[in-house]
Structure 1
Amino acid sequence: MKIERRYDIDWLRVIAIALLLIYHIAIVFQPWAMLIGFIRSDETSTAIWQPMTMLNVWRIPILFYVSGMGVYFALRKRNNIELLKERIKRILLPFLFGFVAITPLHMFVFQDYYNLGLSYYPHMGHLWFLGNIFIYVLIGLPVFYGIKKGKFSTIISFLERLFKNPFGLLSVNVFFIAEVVLFQPKPFALYAQTWHGFAIGLLAFFFGFLFMNTGKVFWNTVKQWKWFYLGLAIILYTIRLVVFATEGPLFLTVIESNSWIFSIFGFCYQYLNKPSNILSYLSKAAYPVYIIHMVVLYLAAKFILPFHLPALLAFLIITLITFMGCYVLYEFVIRRITFLRPLFGVNNKISMQKSNTKKVVVNKTSQLTS
């Protein structure tokens, strides 16, 4: 049976990680940057942060949704044991390597910039996301097994009927509202290494998996009602921005967050579900870039900030350096050094297959021309 490739989900992962880089760069220009371990610019800017207040309520949850969807695709050709082994290689190994070898590097840059004296400080840093995902997989193994064996067919049938209705789909917000009522996050976007971040990630992860198990029901709904969800998100964001200065009632923020996400799913499903060479490259680069981007970002900030450029100009330059630096490290170091690939979540088997394919093509070409 031919397995359908969902290119829109690949694009979602790439876009979400690109936005994550931009978001982290924007933090450099906020007065509270040092409080969360970022290098801070003397030239701060509320203008740079304004669009980030729209992003920050959905940029991390959408990655958890996509991760849950990824598990669905992985299970179509693997059993639970094979899934666990694959996730150990793809998630746990890069997480542990990053914990001891990557996150200490950007802290070295931070310490050097502020003349704090260099000390080795292994920590999760931005890689907390990977640790959460691996735990979610462990928690979900019995559920994955039950769904694959048809144990939850009644529940799946109910969800199929529910998600055909655009308001039925919005009913998932009940679970997310219960989460914020329980943990009372302040601010809502404080995901990293918090119980709120763990719980909202767990919900998004499992609903992402469940959405895929309803076949095309979920996708047809978000495609058909994408403008409705987008309009609802814009209205709720406007209220949050104008009335509550970006930190509104948690239940409204939850509905806004999922409305953004459902609209994005709908637009991507309609317009981005097609292959391209650019996507093929970017989808493989996104994960390693996520792992290394903080080191490159801190180095760029350390180099550019002493020039005391206007905040917007410095932001644009640091963004350019960060993206280019990540590209260079991925293309000319991680991708080309065999033993590094697994440490950054790059599949060695795929790389070897491509290499062998190229050799075959070259050999056939030389035979034809000789």
Structure 2
Amino acid sequence: MTTPRAPIPRHYGLDWLRVAAFAILIVYHVGMVFVPWGFHAKSAHGAAWAVLPMLAVNAWRLSLLFVVSGYASRALLGRAASPGRFLRQRSLRLLVPLAFGIAVIVPPQPWVELVTQHGYAGGFLTFWTHDYFRFAPLGGIVLPAVNHLWFVLYLWLYTVVLVLLVMLVRWRGAQRAFDTIFGGPGLLVLPIAWLVCIHGWWFPMGYETQNPFDDAMAHCLYLPAFLFGFALAGSAPVIAACVRWRWPAAALALAGYGVILAIELGQSPIAPRWLYPVYGAAHAVQQWGAIVALLGFAERHWNRDSGLRPTLTEAVFPFYLVHQTILVVVAYWLIPAGLPGGVEFLLLVAATILGCFAFYRIGRRIAWLRPLIGLRPLPHPKPEVAP
């Protein structure tokens, strides 16, 4: 029986899953420029149909990242000297980039939104030095802004909860219960039932607020996903169940997405309220079905190393920190050119990826910048021994 501080072998399949999830996130956020949903920069080529491919990943992309983060936290805890040491290490790795991101990386995003959508007349330097750190709303935007870095903040909060649970809960019994409950059909039935309650009953058609003090729906979704990933890392029976149920789970995910497409295509822009629970239940089925299927495929087919994997896994966090700012700023410059929508989309994707890669390659070589962008400090050189 694996205890929460026993060593966990590296799972290359989940590394690839994490890299793929963040790659999808970049394309998804570029898509936000074109769909009717609110975003910091909006193209004149927005189209309602663009929502449909976005909904193929909308249900599961963030929950999957929290599951993978929980799994990685189990491995990191196993290498730490104590739970307190683990929390200190994770706090440095998460809170330092979060503070740097809020202060330096994020500010261009609300500036672009204020200029293009709220009539703000000041330049960026004026905004950053006089208005950004006001700790009050401006044009309906609370400043300073967390924006996409809410994920990092929530990940740190859930890490604190995890450490408390590790210190308070008798883990061997909890792990055995987890293996029993989720090692069979309960892997699909119980989480889907929980998610149906969230999306179809408690918060029908609800959205995350990204305010940790007023975001009950997000906490109901993401904290259990994070803890599931943590327990999964020590559970061979549940990993085997993910492999065993991967095809039925994939079928459920496709069925849930099919129902969502049917509702989106068959209703007026304002759907009747009686459809909310149906839509929410389909969202729940798609969400957990996709997660189980992807975990099963990662274990069965993708759990192998590659020479490219270390670089990609290291680059994921810096890419995440900077990608949204790059795409918003590029969109601000690009949209007035009046290019065709397809060209605009492809240029945004290419510019965002290239900008992220440059940010990572430059930042990783500067010792003082590495901790600020989520990279480990460079190891101290060993002193030379005199002959």
The alignment's TM-score, normalised by the length of structure 1, stands at 0.86
In structure 2, the CA distance between the partners of 1:252 and 1:30, relative to structure 1 (3 Å rule), is: closer
Whether 2:67 is the aligned partner of 1:65: answer: yes
Q: CA shift at 1:258, angstroms?
A: 0.6
**8 Å contact kept, 1:180–1:251:** yes
Q: Deviations over 1:150-182 (max 9, x none)?
A: x14333223212322134443123333344467
Q: Per the alignment, in what secondary structure is the counterpart of residue 172 of structure 1?
A: helix
Whether 2:122 is the aligned partner of 1:103: answer: no
In structure 2, the partner of 1:327 is 357
- Residue from 252, 267, 276 that aligns with 2:306: 276
My pick for the range that moved more, 241-250 or 131-140, is 241-250
Alignment of 1:202-351 (within 5 A): 202-214=223-235, 216-243=236-263, 245=265, 248-332=278-362, 334-348=363-377, 351=378
In structure 2, the CA distance between the partners of 1:287 and 1:213, relative to structure 1 (3 Å rule), is: same
Q: Deviations over 1:51-103 (max 9, x none)?
A: 11111011111111111111111111112111111111111111122122211
Whether 2:77 is the aligned partner of 1:81: answer: no
Extract unaligned runs of 5+ from structure 1.
361-370
Q: How many residues align?
A: 346
- Residue from 162, 166, 173 that aligns with 1:154: 173
Q: Deviations over 1:120-165 (max 9, x none)?
A: 3321111011111111111222222345xxx143332232123221
Paired letter, 2:25: L
**8 Å contact kept, 1:65–1:207:** yes
In structure 1, the partner of 2:97 is 94
**8 Å contact kept, 1:291–1:344:** yes
**8 Å contact kept, 2:34–2:45:** yes
Q: C-alpha distance in 2, partners of 1:60/1:303?
A: 29
In structure 2, the partner of 1:142 is 164
My pick for the range that moved more, 296-305 or 244-253, is 244-253
In structure 2, the partner of 1:51 is 53
Q: C-alpha distance in 2, partners of 1:344/1:130?
A: 12
In structure 1, the partner of 2:148 is 126
Q: Per the alignment, in what secondary structure is the counterpart of residue 326 of structure 1?
A: helix
Q: C-alpha distance in 2, partners of 1:266/1:3?
A: 18
**8 Å contact kept, 1:45–1:311:** no
Paired letter, 1:268: A
Q: C-alpha distance in 2, partners of 1:32/1:2?
A: 44
Q: C-alpha distance in 2, partners of 1:42/1:105?
A: 20
In structure 2, the partner of 1:367 is none
Q: CA shift at 1:257, angstroms?
A: 0.2
**8 Å contact kept, 2:35–2:46:** yes
**8 Å contact kept, 1:105–1:295:** yes
Paired letter, 2:374: G
- Residue from 6, 13, 18 that aligns with 1:13: 18
Q: CA shift at 1:289, angstroms?
A: 0.7
**8 Å contact kept, 1:43–1:308:** no
- Residue from 200, 207, 210 that aligns with 1:192: 210
Paired letter, 2:110: M
Paired letter, 2:255: I
My pick for the range that moved more, 241-250 or 320-329, is 241-250
Paired letter, 1:237: Y
Paired letter, 2:15: D
Q: C-alpha distance in 2, partners of 1:341/1:307?
A: 36
In structure 1, the partner of 2:272 is none
Paired letter, 1:29: F
Q: Deviations over 1:203-245 (max 9, x none)?
A: 111111122232x112111112211110111011101211355
In structure 2, the partner of 1:363 is none
Q: C-alpha distance in 1, partners of 2:168/2:14?
A: 25
Q: Per the alignment, in what secondary structure is the counterpart of residue 249 of structure 1?
A: helix
Percent identical pairs in the alignment equals 27
My pick for the range that moved more, 41-50 or 167-176, is 167-176
Whether 2:185 is the aligned partner of 1:166: answer: yes
The alignment's TM-score, normalised by the length of structure 2, stands at 0.82
My pick for the range that moved more, 234-243 or 45-54, is 45-54
Q: CA shift at 1:50, angstroms?
A: 1.8
In structure 2, the CA distance between the partners of 1:168 and 1:64, relative to structure 1 (3 Å rule), is: closer
**8 Å contact kept, 1:177–1:250:** yes
**8 Å contact kept, 2:8–2:233:** no
Paired letter, 1:9: L
In structure 2, the CA distance between the partners of 1:286 and 1:315, relative to structure 1 (3 Å rule), is: same
